[in-house]
Amino acid sequence: MRVGSLFSALVGVAAGLSIRAVKPSAGVEALVQRRLPQHAGLFQFTIVDPISQPATGTFGQNVSESYVVSSLNNGKIHIQGNTPSALLSGLHAYLSEEAHVDIWWYIGSQLENAHRQLPKLYAPLKGSSVVPYRYYFNTVAMAVTTSYTSAFWTWEDWELQLDWMALRGVNLALAWIGVEKIFIEVFKEVGLTDAEIATFLSGPAFMAWNNFGNIQGSWGGDLPISWVDSQFALQKKIVARMVELGMTPILPAFPGFAPRAISRVFPNITAANGSVWEGFPTQYTADTFIDPFDPVFEQLQKSFIAKQAEAYGNVTRFYTLDQFNENNPPSGELDYLHNVSQNTWKTLKAADPMAVWVMQGWLFTSNSAFWTNSRIQAFIEGVPINSDMLILDLVSESSPQWQRTNSYYGKPWVWCELHGYGGNMGLYGQVQNVTVNSIQALSASKSLVGFGVTMEGQEGNEVMYDLILSQAWSAKPIDTEAYFHDWVAARYSISKKGPASTSLYEAWETLRTSVFNNTNLTSTGVPKSIMELIPSISGLVNRTGHHPTSINYNPASMVQGWNYLYKAAQQDPSLWANPSYNYDLVDFTRQVLANAFIPLYQQIVATYTKSRLSAKCRGDALKKQGQQLIKLMTVYDAVLSTDKNFRLDTWISAARASASDAKTADFLEYEARNQITLWGPSGQISDYASKAWSGLVSTYYIPRWEKFIDYLVETEPAKYNQTAFAASLLQWEINWTNQKTGGKLQNNAVEKLQTVLPGAVKVWNAVSAA
């Protein structure tokens, strides 16, 4: 085992010798003060034999971090580790496994639920990382994660997120917020006007794809400068907090995309238009790309990096830079590709001699036809020093590229779990691939230096993301049965054994071996409900790929897990007050009802296409079946409304609240609405980022299905025309994105889940009996 000798040496030291103890990290103690103020005095932190994160040139898998947690005679919990991240991982192991509390997405910190007297340890808890880096965020995504998930987050939301990441051992993370400020200053410095820059920058919900050169400009209104400034202020706090928590921020670098008018200020510049992305009008795509050979590229790179260093300090050597994400290079000639990366690398090194170029490998998956092995090799080897690059193998659990590229021809790389696209919501997991394949990769590839998480949106399925981050501290594939058991104990802060805890464990165990054990890799991401798609008589069910609609498990397992979960609150009604329980029961019910929608839909299609009924009888049957479908969607919406994390108004009010004035708030509401529906001025990638949210179901999906039923009733099957039907929806959809609700709740007064659930069970019973 590569970490063997160092591992035992460190543990030996930490276990008792305390050879060279230094003052504990202030950041770790501050986190404890923030999240566990009542218990803060009960923890003692000691950094023992500190190691620093590998500097450039010294990437190595055998740089191991470790922790030891033990009980002291005075009752305190003593956590020793060799880095702040190791201390935090030790703290997390103790809190989740022993005290049965944790901090969660959406739900927030439940750490204060820990018993006033912390459990005593009879034997020390020990852990040691098997990879030097634990990476977080999708580049197509801090970027994409920031657009789909955190576009409208406040500092409090970020604080929670960063504490979540820190406790789970993340030590390398994208810090991409507020980058527009840097772009604006760099462009202004060379003489571009505000108006010219405005035609380039995209809106707050779409910035990620602007940074990739996929889109430019903003439909529906220009990017508000007040918003740019507020994001920049946020980024300063984020970066400082990351550093405090032992995480290295990865900052953006200048990728080469610029306003069209760059050729006005540099008339001799060599630049080309990139490809048209997803059918967007050219005004909004085919971004101008400055040739990396042109001296202007280096000038802008130096300016960009210097302005960032001035704003955030000397905090990192890691820079994220992607030029050809869903955007092909102008030439596929090997020599050219080699030159492009070499020149880009030179500009980075000119700006910061220590720079490491972090690049995401999505392009190799998404456009594997262009990116043949020889082209990948030519491009990657343009960077002559291996440790000057770090590649994110972006979808290692489903479409890994590291094998075919011979471990990226020696460049350090990170095994990443992507899991879900567009923040779509569906229960899903690959427990085997995440645990077994990641560890297999570690022994098969010398240049694997990290495990990471690269979801497009934090859509749920938190256990699956926890799993890969935990795997970074286990040399063998994690035993997922034991893992899920511990996870459930922490999830619901289970303090005593009983029938309710048994039901909770059974609920998740049922899903672990079914819903979370997808092995059919025709589906490579979280499935979405067909409810969220433009209705059609064909092509909705059994979709494969990264927005699958195919259900790759027996739906009865989902129902069984749901029954166990519901039963737990009948056995212990105090669970109704537990926010994790409320969240999960909404989520499980959501999946059960979404699955039940499929047979109802199929029945309608069969009535329409197969029955030999007269037009009148067919119409009557369709209306009746349509009512059943709408009834299911109505109760679905009501269930979702019982948890703020499943509501449209939460998203819209966050968008509005991030504005400094009413006009900006209206624009941000438009952005928020457009992203989750039409995604583009007129539905360029409609429903890509669809959501199972109350309010969206009631005001967007239900009306679309009602219009569909009406269309079927009035249209002879022989005259069915999907193009015409979809076109008839478009103006209505555009109108929906232009609505302003001020973020108010869109459905009737919200009831408690406990009150709504019997109605959902009744509807489900009726559907399943039919």
Ligand X SMILES: *[C@@H]1O[C@H](CO)[C@@H](O)[C@H](O)[C@H]1NC(C)=O
Rounded to the nearest whole angstrom, what is the least distance from the CB of residue 325 to ligand X in the complex? 19
Token pair recorded at residue 413? 């790389």
Shortest distance in whole angstroms from residue 519 CB to ligand X = 4
Contacts to ligand X by CB under 6 A: 2, 6, 60, 62, 267-268, 272-273, 282, 286, 314, 333, 335-336, 339, 398, 400, 431-433, 437, 480, 512-513, 517, 519-522, 541-542, 544, 550, 721, 723-724, 727, 731-732, 735
CB 312, CB 263: distance < 8 Å: no
Q: Output phi, psi for 366, to 5 deg.
A: -75, -30
Strand partners of residue 190: none
Residue 312 tokens, joined = 């955030």
Nearer to ligand X, 335 or 710 (CB): 335
60 or 759, CB closer to ligand X?
60
Cα dihedral 760/763/769/770 (nearest 10): -150
Please state the closest distance from residue 194 (CB atom) to ligand X, in A.
20
| Plot region of 659 (φ>0 → left; ψ -120 to 50 → alpha; else → beta) | beta
Residue holding tokens 């409900």?
Answer: 529
How far apart CA 55 and CA 60 sit, in angstroms, is 10
Residue placing its CB nearer to ligand X in the complex, 432 or 682: 432
As measured in angstroms, the least distance from the Cβ of 767 to ligand X is 18
Task: Report the nearest approach of ligand X to the CB of residue 383 (Å).
Answer: 14
Q: Please answer whether residues 360 and 392 qualify as being in contact, where contact means their C-beta atoms are separated by less than 8 angstroms.
A: yes
Write down the least CB distance from residue 199 to ligand X, Å: 11
Q: Which of 159, 299, 315, 157 is nearest to 246 (CA)?
A: 315
709's CB contacts (< 8 A; 6+ apart) are 604, 622, 623, 626, 629, 630
Q: Which is nearer to ligand X, 8 or 542 (CB)?
A: 542
The number of helix segments (H) and strand segments (E) in the chain equals 29, 18
Cα dist. 480→92, 190, 464, 591, 724 in Å? 18, 55, 10, 22, 49
Q: Are 763 and 631 in contact (CB under 8 A)?
A: yes
Reduced to 3 states, what is the DSSP secondary structure of residue 302? helix
Of residues 524 and 578, the one with the C-beta less far from ligand X: 524
The CA-CA-CA angle for residues 126, 128, 129, to 5°, reads 150
| Nearest distance from C-beta of residue 168 to ligand X, angstroms | 22
Contact residues for 4 (Cβ-Cβ < 8 A; gap 6+): none
- Taking the least distance from each CB to ligand X, the nearer of 29 and 291 is 291
Residue partners of 640: CB distance under 8 A and separation at least 6: 586, 590, 646, 647, 692, 693, 694, 697
Nearest approach, Cβ of 512 to ligand X (angstroms)? 6
Closer to ligand X at the Cβ: 226 or 283?
Answer: 283
Distance between CA 127 and CA 79 in Å, rounded? 11
Residue found under tokens 């021809």: 409
Distance CA 139, CA 179 (A): 13
Q: Which is nearer to ligand X, 33 or 62 (CB)?
A: 62
Strand residues in 505-565 grouped as ranges (E): none
Shortest distance in whole angstroms from residue 759 CB to ligand X: 29
Contacts with 720 (C-beta within 8 Å, 6 or more apart), sequence order: 537, 712
Q: Which of residues 288 and 589 has its CB atom nearest to ligand X in the complex?
A: 288
- Shortest approach of ligand X to residue 398 CB, angstroms? 5
Tokens linked to 368: 């594997």
- Which of 152, 484 has the CB closer to ligand X? 484
With respect to ligand X, which residue has the nearer C-beta, 313 or 499? 313
Q: Which is nearer to ligand X, 541 or 613 (CB)?
A: 541
Nearest to 429 by CA among 491, 520, 554: 520
Identity of the residue, 477 or 759, whose beta carbon is nearer to ligand X in the bound complex = 477
Length of the chain: 770
Q: How far is the CB of 343 from ligand X (least distance, A)?
A: 8
- In angstroms, the CA 96 to CA 149 distance is 25
- How far does Cα 203 stand from its chain's mean position? 19
For ligand X, the closer of residues 339 and 677 by Cβ is: 339
Structure tokens at 542: 């059994």
CA-to-CA distance for 279 and 688, rounded, in angstroms?
14
> What contacts 568, CB < 8 A, 6 or more positions away?
500, 501, 503, 504, 507, 575, 581
Question: Which tokens hold the place of 720?
Answer: 């069915």
**Terminal-to-terminal C-alpha distance of the chain:** 57
| The amino acid at 23 | K
Which CB atom, from 100 or from 546, has the smaller least distance to ligand X? 546
**Cα–Cα distance, 514 to 492 (Å, whole number):** 22
Least distance (Å) between residue 259 CB and ligand X = 11
Q: 40 or 315, CB closer to ligand X?
A: 315
Q: Which is nearer to ligand X, 94 or 701 (CB)?
A: 701
Q: If we measure between CA atoms, which residue out of 97, 86, 91, 94 comes closest to residue 11?
A: 86
